[in-house]
Amino acid sequence: MKKTIIVASAIILSIVFNPLRAQGFDWHRLNITADFSFQPTMVRFGGGIFSQHPNRSASVGLGYRLGQRWEVNLYANLVGANAMSSGQQMVRGQMVRWIYVEDRYDVGWGAVVQWHTVPYRLRHAVGFDIMLRVGFDIGEAEADNVWAGLRWTYDLSRHVALSFSSDVGTFYFGRSNSMLTGVDMKIYPRASFGVQVEL
């Protein structure tokens, strides 16, 4: 894991500092994001927004556009419950699966590298964007390490956009949900929606 973090950090630093040196700092390239994420499940949890829901999380991020198509983000995420243990047992000829969820707030952090399909100079002329992204959940509050996906943004104004993301990765709750449903998966889905504010 330490090698993964060192390699990821070296890649992020080279992506950030080389273009920054060439283009100089521009406040308009900075953006702030707030997202609500959920992982699909058939399990009915309690009535809390984050407590009693290991399948949900929230995150805030700070991003900077590099050149025409690249962006680097740092984020912090919050989960309100964790699937602490799970198991299965044969009872009267039927397989009974269970999950133990404990309310415990965890804060994690990480970094995301995104590649935009719309160049920076055309971002307001087009009004929407689609990004390929790879994230590193360094604090490991929600995922083991690496996750990847797509992000869409739709401009409401020059400074505010709605966003939707679809990711796959080694999310902790996904493993528990896999055991409950009896479907053995290696990577698990997550969907997010939120707001992006460009300075």
164's CB contacts (< 8 A; 6+ apart) are 151, 152, 191, 192, 193
Reduced DSSP (H G I as helix, E B as strand, rest coil) percent helix, strand, coil of the chain, to 5: 20, 55, 25
Task: Please work out, in degrees rounded to the nearest 5, the angle formed at the alpha carbon of residue 94 by the alpha carbons of 176 and 102.
Answer: 30
pLDDT, tens digit, 9 for 90 and up, residues 115-128: 999 999 998 899 99
Side-chain-side CA neighbours of 93 within 13 Å: the count stands at 0
Tell me 139's DSSP state: T
At position 130, the amino acid (one-letter code) is: I
* Burial profile 151-184: b = 16 or more Cβ within 10 angstroms, e = fewer: bbbebeeeeebebebebbbbbbbbbbbebbeeee
The predicted structure's pLDDT at residue 20: 52
d(CA 62, CA 198): 10
Tokens 């397989």 map to which residue?
A: 95
pLDDT, tens digit, 9 for 90 and up, residues 59-68: 999 999 999 9
Burial class (CB in 10 A: 0-12, 13-18, 19+), 1: exposed
Neighbours of 188 (CB within 10 A): 21
d(CA 143, CA 172): 6
Candidates 148, 135, 140, 138; CA nearest to 187 is 148
Q: What is the enclosing helix (H) or strand (E) of 56?
A: strand 56-66
Along the 199 residues of the chain, how does pLDDT read in single tens digits? 556 656 665 665 565 555 555 556 788 899 999 999 999 987 788 788 888 888 899 999 999 999 999 999 999 999 988 877 667 777 788 777 777 778 888 899 999 999 999 999 998 899 999 999 999 998 777 888 899 999 999 999 999 999 999 999 988 888 777 777 777 777 899 999 999 999 8
Q: What is the mean pLDDT of the chain?
A: 85
